[in-house]
Amino acid sequence: MPSSDELPFRPRRLCVLIVSNHPETSEMYATFLSSKGFEVATATYADAANHGRDFPPDVLAADLGVPLDAAFSVCRQFKEHPSTRDIPIVALTGYVSERIHAAAALAGCGRVLVKPVAPHEFVKAICLALGLSTPSE
């Protein structure tokens, strides 16, 4: 069997769109996910819906930060638009309130992780959201 370098094409890498208004957060998660073989794009809350429609990712990783209503709005926009409604959403939040977690679920987040999130737990949540087997730690 030929190696991947010998194939006439490269299989498409799974793409994660990280949405956050904090560049440091996006960069940290993007660096780690890239090292695990994911293609990564980043966007602010303001740009996320358009980016998602123009370049639909396989999964959306939404940092539920301030302003919280803007983060929920992005998630709802993804779930309401025909081209992005089936994209799973993994949310990252510093809020431990059940009310916030319930609101995240209503906004379309399938998984909610409480920060700080260990990088391997983040990858595991993304794999589960995509229906993939999770890598060993």
pLDDT on residue 66:
76
Position 2 in a domain = no
Digit-coded pLDDT (tens) for 48-67: 989 889 999 999 999 998 78
For the cut 60, the answer to whether the pLDDT of residue 9 exceeds it is: no
- Angle, nearest 10°, between helix axes 98-106 and 68-80? 30
8 Å CB contact between 130 and 111: no
pLDDT on residue 4:
42
Position 46 in a domain = yes
Digit-coded pLDDT (tens) for 66-108: 788 999 999 999 999 999 999 999 999 999 899 999 999 999 9
Rounded to whole angstroms, the Cα distance separating 118 from 82 reads 33
Position 137 in a domain = no
Rounded to whole angstroms, the Cα distance separating 90 from 63 reads 9
| Report field, pTM of the whole predicted structure over 0.95 | no
CATH code for the domain of 103: 3.40.50.2300
> Whole domain around residue 88: which residue ranges?
15-129
Position 20 in a domain = yes
Q: SS3 string of the chain?
A: CCCCCCCCCCCCCCEEEEECCCHHHHHHHHHHHHHCCCEEEEECHHHHHHHHHHCCCCEEEEECCCCHHHHHHHHHHHHHCCCCCCCCEEEEECCCCHHHHHHHHHCCCCEEEECCCCHHHHHHHHHHHCCCCCCCC
For the cut 90, the answer to whether the pLDDT of residue 12 exceeds it is: no
Structural domains of the chain, count: 1
